Structure 1
Amino acid sequence: MKIKALHHVCIQTDCYENSKKFYVEILGFEIIKETPRFHDRDYNTWLKLGDFMIELQTSKSGTIFSKWSSMNLGPVHLSFLVDNVEEAYENIKSVGYRKFKIKNGKEIYKVENGSLFKIKAPEGTEVEIRDKADI
């Protein structure tokens, strides 16, 4: 088997409208397909940014999600690359979004080969914005 590419990440939310607004208005995704009443869910929505997609979905009827924690097993955060971290940070702040993660008293911090900041999406997903692809 040879994997060709990462197709999508599925994110479940208990605050659908806020999460959809975050990914579309804050991060710049576009809605490709929004399906109400999908397999016993209120919504299943496909969002796209470049070649990357998010499948955003609500819980199945009667199901209550556990809250997200960075202490869970599996994926811890999503990371997006930008040209200028400070500019991206100011753009997000300018629309009133303030759920930034603070590390050592700072919202933007230096890492090897660049800078980054992290924000929490309405459903709890941690989103990293960084300016260097080097690892």
Structure 2
Amino acid sequence: MIVHHFCIQTNDYEKSLTFYQELLGFKLVNETKNFHERQYNTWLQHDDLYIELQTGKQTQQLASFNKETEGLAHICFYVEDLQQLQQKLEKQGAHFLKKQNKAIYYVEGGALFKIKAPEGTIIEFRDSLII
């Protein structure tokens, strides 16, 4: 079994779309307006991974992300050069979730850093595949 995609909902479509395209390098594959009562339902791709980015239904204001709720807490990507990516994202204005005032910190098996997307999704980057 492999992961095909994950779905992210946002109240600020343009801000989230820009974040995933410009900061993380996802390519726009398909953008559908007025999709099942949603302003947008969009597919983004990076290598073999897809994000389905969608707005809430027409009159729906989505609740803010809260890491204290059940369900998906974060998304993690493996990268070979963690420091290079961290420096690139920092120059582009990414919002880092620091630990002890450090962007990159160490957890069993390797180094990592986390950023927060405009809609609140926490995205982790690791330099090790070991868990």
Is the shorter-chain TM-score for this pair beyond 0.5, marking a shared fold? yes
Work out whether 1:126 is the aligned partner of 2:122.
yes
Aligned mates of 1:125, 1:93 — CA distance in 2:
17
Q: TM-score, normalised by structure 1?
A: 0.93
SS in structure 1 at match of 2:15: helix
In structure 1, stretches of 5+ residues that fail to align are none
Deviation at 1:33, TM superposition (A): 0.3
1:113 maps to: 109
In structure 2, stretches of 5+ residues that fail to align are none
Match of 1:69 among 66, 81, 90: 66
Q: Any residues of structure 2 matched to 1:1-20 within 5 Å, and which?
A: 4-20=1-17
Deviation at 1:105, TM superposition (A): 2.1
Q: Any residues of structure 2 matched to 1:1-135 within 5 Å, and which?
A: 4-97=1-94, 99-135=95-131
Deviation at 1:114, TM superposition (A): 1.3
Identity of aligned residues (%): 45
Spell out, residue by residue over 1:36-75, the C-alpha distance to the aligned partner (whole angstroms, 9 max, x if none): 1111111000011111111000010111111101111011
Aligned mates of 2:84, 2:98 — CA distance in 1:
18
Count of residues in correspondence between the two structures: 131
Report the aligned-residue RMSD. 0.9
After TM superposition, the runs of 4+ consecutive aligned structure 1 residues lying more than 4 A away are none
SS in structure 1 at match of 2:112: strand
What amino acid sits opposite 2:118 in the alignment? P
Aligned mates of 2:2, 2:129 — CA distance in 1:
17
